Structure 1
Amino acid sequence: MAMFCAEEYGVPPIAGRILGWLMICDPPEQSAGQIAAAIGASKASLATNMRVLTDAKFVRRRTRPGERTNYYRVDDDAWETVIRRRVASLTEFRDLAADGIDLAGTGSGRAERLRVAHDVYDWMAKLFTETPRPRTRKQP
């Protein structure tokens, strides 16, 4: 998970270790101290990377009534949220390529290179938006 997140999302490996732990830990909400102990990270490194994960909407920070400790968890909708943001970026790039085609002149070689990028991003955006959401099984 650490290497996947580093390569795919450009985050430090520690962020991937945190995410991996939060996906399998029990209980599903963990304090920073619990997470640091489980993955062998310093609290300072954990705090920095927790901010990365919460800003990206992978992880949510919560508090409990009467406690000052923050707890972190991966919400069930985190994956859909991340994918929806990716789909939105596909659409934005497709639209940017379309604008470039108009600026380059539709019949030019430059426009053709842009059209290839546009068509691939258009295909991916349509694929994601037209495909039904997968069903999830709820645990009893």
Structure 2
Amino acid sequence: MQRKIDHGRDEEAVRRFVERLALDLVATGIPRMPARIYAALLVAEEGRGTAAELAEFLQVSPAAVSGAVRYLTQVALVTRERDPGARRDHYRVTEDQWSQAILQQDVLFTQWERTLREGMEAVGQASPAAARLAETWEFLQLMREEIPVLVDKWQARLAALRASQGRG
């Protein structure tokens, strides 16, 4: 989106890839426009772009970009930054975005656990509904225990990958 560097890049193939990846992300529950913006930022040479650059690349309105990046910043996949002296914001793929997005879920899991406990009390501890709620609560407990372990493993793997690419 910023400066053009030719690494054998096929812009038409890149655009098709962005749309395919966006569809895959939509299938996971990410809204369509944020999925397209995220995919476009992933393929940007510097991993960032302005609202105008993203709108031009995706052939959408700047307003559509604005709403989409708001969502992406809330889920920790994108950050907003401004160069010193610049008037335009740039949106950047968050460094280690997946770890940050997953770790952010811990707050939600804690809230859900409290709500599930209330639900178990409301339906009666011995009811089939309470059993289903308890299974959901246990799953969230497992997730909260395992996510930090997985993130640590990922960060070690990411460091090794970056070192092998000379980006350590």
TM-score range, shorter chain: 0.7 to 0.9
Write the distance in 2 (CA, Å) between the matches of 1:87 and 1:4: 24
Aligned-pair distance for 1:102? Answer: 3.4
Q: Are residues 1:87 and 2:96 paired?
A: no
Q: Are residues 1:99 and 2:118 paired?
A: yes
TM-score with structure 1 setting the length = 0.80
Query: Per the alignment, in what secondary structure is the counterpart of residue 16 of structure 1?
Result: helix
Q: Which runs of 4+ in 1 moved over 4 A?
A: none
Q: Who is 1:2 aligned against?
A: 22
Aligned-pair distance for 1:10? Answer: 4.1
Write the distance in 2 (CA, Å) between the matches of 1:53 and 1:71: 13
Q: Who is 2:75 aligned against?
A: 56
Aligned-pair distance for 1:132? Answer: 5.2
Q: CA 1:30/1:85 → structure 2, altered by over 3 Å: closer, same or farther?
A: same
Aligned residues: 139
Q: Is the 8 A contact 2:77 2:97 kept in 1?
A: yes
Uncovered stretches (5+) of structure 2, i.e. residues with no partner: 1-20
Q: Is the 8 A contact 1:57 1:78 kept in 2?
A: yes
**Matched ranges for 1:64-75 at <5 A:** 64-75=83-94
Q: CA 1:84/1:52 → structure 2, altered by over 3 Å: closer, same or farther?
A: same
Q: Deviations over 1:95-136 (max 9, x none)?
A: 322333334443333322222222222222222234451121
Which of 92, 112, 122 is equivalent to 2:131? Answer: 112
Write the distance in 2 (CA, Å) between the matches of 1:30 and 1:65: 16
Q: Is the 8 A contact 2:76 2:101 kept in 1?
A: yes
Q: Is the 8 A contact 1:95 1:118 kept in 2?
A: no
Aligned-pair distance for 1:4? Answer: 3.2
Write the distance in 2 (CA, Å) between the matches of 1:87 and 1:95: 13
Q: Is the 8 A contact 1:56 1:82 kept in 2?
A: yes
Aligned-pair distance for 1:67? Answer: 1.8
Q: In the alignment, residue 120 of structure 1 is paired with which amino acid?
A: F
Query: Per the alignment, in what secondary structure is the counterpart of residue 15 of structure 1?
Result: helix
